[in-house]
Structure 1
Amino acid sequence: MFYFNSNKMFFIFILFFSTLISISSNSWFGCWIGLEINLLSFIPLISNSNNLMTSEASLKYFLTQSIASINFLFSILLKFILMKNFEINLFLSIMINSSLLMKMGSAPFHFWFPNVIEGLSWLNCFILMTWQKISPMILLSYYFNKNFLIMIMILNSIIGAIGGLNQTSLRKLMAFSSINNLGWMLSTILISENLWMFYLFMYSFLVLIMCFLFNILNMFYINQLFILNLNPLIKLSLLINFLSLGGLPPFIGFFPKWIVINYLINNKIFILTFIFVMMSLIMLFFYIRIIYSSFMFNYLKMKWFKIFIKNYSFILINFFSLISISGMVLSTFFFM
């Protein structure tokens, strides 16, 4: 289970509060203050003096977020000074968008994202992949350059799919999966705010299941899935949730992607639809490769090497898997 102490709870509360400051502010400067509080509250959550990897991750996170914050502040100050100049305004919109995209770990500003996630616990991975994207994405929806955003969506989709192909670390795999899903999420900003909230909720739910599973099993690398005395039901749950995260029908992860594809086809944006679907197939390819290997290639461990999972945790895992299977079937009835 995810472990919480009083200090962690305090910083998580500040993290939540800072996001509310950013999204409810009526000035760019207020948004910047919210982003800074968010940064300063997340650093203590990820830094741990006993682990060098978390210290390195917190330093990398701090440096990249600081650079993004400086760019954001510089852009909004220039925007106030040079408001009437259209050409400069166009350049500033790209600058503001770039700094916000860098904050959420979007391609082509994604180089820090997998490296930082590699040094985090599963709880912090979950926060970084879901909650930390909310403020920048809402601010991006206020002031975006459409052509620039479409280019970023395509880059996210391609880099997220290709980057995950040669990964052996589950955390890096989840990071590239997050980059790929970010392309879909950015497309929902162009469509509808309600659709963006629905996609974020569904993606957060699926990432929570995966992080919960890996945290219980204490797994960080793909070869740990090949253990012979791992319960087959757990492997089946991993199969279902991986495929749901990849967006394979009839699993529930396909449902928000289905709405996006439907909108893109209705608006005759076929090239973007083709890229999204093909990159999702690549994502599914390496998810299926991992699951196939975990079922087929088992190696023996020592007899005392056992994984004990409490009954209520196992019930939760099976319940989440059941939702993933039945959710898409139920949703089709609502839309018939």
Structure 2
Amino acid sequence: MFKNSYKFLFFITLMSGTFITISSTSWFGAWMGLEINLLSFIPLMMNTNNLLSSEASLKYFLTQALASSILLFAVVFFFMMSNWGNVFMENYTNLMICSALLLKSGAAPFHFWFPSVMEGLSWNNSLILMTWQKIAPMILLSYCLNLNFFIIIVISCILIGSLGGLNQTSLRKLMAFSSINHLGWMVAGMMNSENLWMTYFLFYSFLSFTIIFLFNNFKLFNINQMFGLFNSNSIVKFLMFLSLLSLGGLPPFMGFLPKWLIIESLINMNMFFLLTLMVTFTLITLFFYIRICYAAFLLNHNENNWNFNINYFNKNYFLSLIFTFISISGLFIVNFLYWLF
């Protein structure tokens, strides 16, 4: 993953920026950690073999700098209003802080930069952007809960994340809109408890890693490339298909478990209308996951019995088998452990 030592140093700095943010006792310290995280991720994004990496780096830098400036301005303004005793302006600045953090994490309706930046990144950097880069903004977001505003954000993320992926042929943009959809579920879990969204985030990170490990291993970037791969090997076909269904949250795969927990929490909060919208539009994400494998499973094609393009004893292939097995059987494993202990 890190071909040069300086990239490894930047990655360590990126992690330390996140740790500074989540362990800070002041908003200024949190802002400083976000800036360290931003400036260390820019060099990791640069790739001389990808012409879109420079454009993606510039878009990411401008968007994150804008969000950081809004966050710093809103925090200063919030403390000024607190000293003056203006409750209305305190609520207004609270919305500004939440909006800046949502812009940093790529949540809808502040998602305009996220798919285009993902398109210019490698799969390794895409995984970092989809998972690690969301930790610090989401934890800061949990400090300033606003239930009515969060409901609007959840509906926006679910709608845009589901409908935005319908016309996509790029797998990176498809994963970007999937990430926006999952972000809506995380915010919905945050309305109930902090542990709930953290549990969802851990499951989502593992499932995203499983999918991107397969994409990166077989150098897949578009849906058309997947058709040729599926026609050459049936085992990879099932690995990819089942992992995508698990990421979509289809029972009985492991991806359904965090959604199950959030569904229960929303039922306890009597948010049945929001829950209905979330479940209905999440089914659309399952539709474009199934569309990826549609030709491989339902269309006739010629397949030679002696075609062995993939080395079954390869370490990456063996790891993909392990990750996929955990992904598709994790729900049974968790239930068994819960029953056992």
User: TM-score when scaled to structure 2?
Assistant: 0.93
Q: Which residue of 1 aligns with 2:62?
A: 63
Query: Given the alignment of the two structures, is residue 51 of structure 1 paired with residue 50 of structure 2, yes or no?
Result: yes
Cα shift readout 1:282-334 (whole Å, capped 9, x = no counterpart): 11111112112233457799xx9956676221111111111122211222335
TM-align CA RMSD: 2.0
CA distance in 2, matches of 1:63, 1:95: 18
Mapping of 1:73-112 within 5 angstroms? Answer: 73-83=72-82, 84-112=85-113
1:292 aligns with 2:294: yes
8 Å CA contact 2:161–2:178 kept in 1: the answer is yes
Per the alignment, residue 336 of structure 2 pairs with: 333
Deviation at 1:3, TM superposition (A): 4.7
Question: Is contact 2:20-2:33 (8 Å) kept?
Answer: yes
- Structure 1 pair 54–305 and aligned structure 2 pair: CA distance change class (3 A): farther
Which one of 238, 242, 245 corresponds to residue 243 of structure 1?
245
Which amino acid in the other structure matches residue 66 of structure 1? A
Identity level (%): 55
Q: Letter of the aligned partner of 1:157 in structure 2?
A: I
Report the residue type matching 2:44 in the other structure: L
Q: Distance in 2 between matches of 1:188 and 1:320?
A: 25
Are residues 49 and 333 of structure 1, via their aligned partners in 2, closer, same or farther at CA, if it must alter by over 3 Å? closer
Structure 1: which amino acid aligns with 2:108?
A: A
CA distance in 2, matches of 1:61, 1:299: 42
Which moved further from structure 2: 307-316 or 18-27?
307-316
Give, as a single letter, the amino acid of the residue that structure 2 aligns with 1:73: L
User: Hey, what's the Cα distance between the residues in 2 that align with 1:277 and 1:53?
Assistant: 35
User: 1:321 & 1:252 partners in 2: Cα distance?
Assistant: 10
Kindly tell me: are residues 325 and 48 of structure 1, through their superposed partners in 2, closer, same or farther at Cα, counting changes over 3 Å? closer
| Distance of aligned partners of 1:143 and 1:219 in 2 relative to their CA distance in 1, 3 Å threshold | same
1:230 to 228, 232, 236: 232
Residue 17 of structure 2 corresponds to residue 18 of structure 1 = yes
Q: Which runs of 5+ in 1 are unaligned?
A: none
1:335 is displaced (CA, Å) by: 5.1
Q: What 5-or-longer segments of structure 2 have no aligned partner?
A: none
**What pairs with 1:195-214 in structure 2 (closer than 5 Å)?**
195-214=196-215
1:311 corresponds, among 309, 314, 322, to: 314
Deviation per residue, 1:205-238 (Å, 9 max, x gap): 0000111100010000001111165321111000
8 Å CA contact retained: 1:217, 1:307: no
Q: 1:281 aligns with which of 271, 280, 283?
A: 283
- Code of the aligned partner of 2:189: T
1:65-94, Cα deviation, whole Å (9 max, x unpaired):
011011001101111211121000010000
Q: Counterpart amino acid of 2:270?
A: K
Structure 2 counterpart of 1:257 = 259
Please give the alpha-carbon distance, in whole angstroms, between the structure 1 residues aligned to 2:220 and 2:50.
Answer: 17
- Is residue 56–residue 120 contact of structure 2 (8 Å, CA) maintained in 1? yes
Distance 2:200 2:310 in 1: 34
Alpha carbons 2:231, 2:296 under 8 Å: kept? no
Matched, 1:187 2:191: no
| Alignment CA distance shift 1:167-1:299 (3 Å) | farther
Which residue pairs with 1:268 in the alignment?
270
In 2, distance between residues paired with 1:57 and 1:192? 34
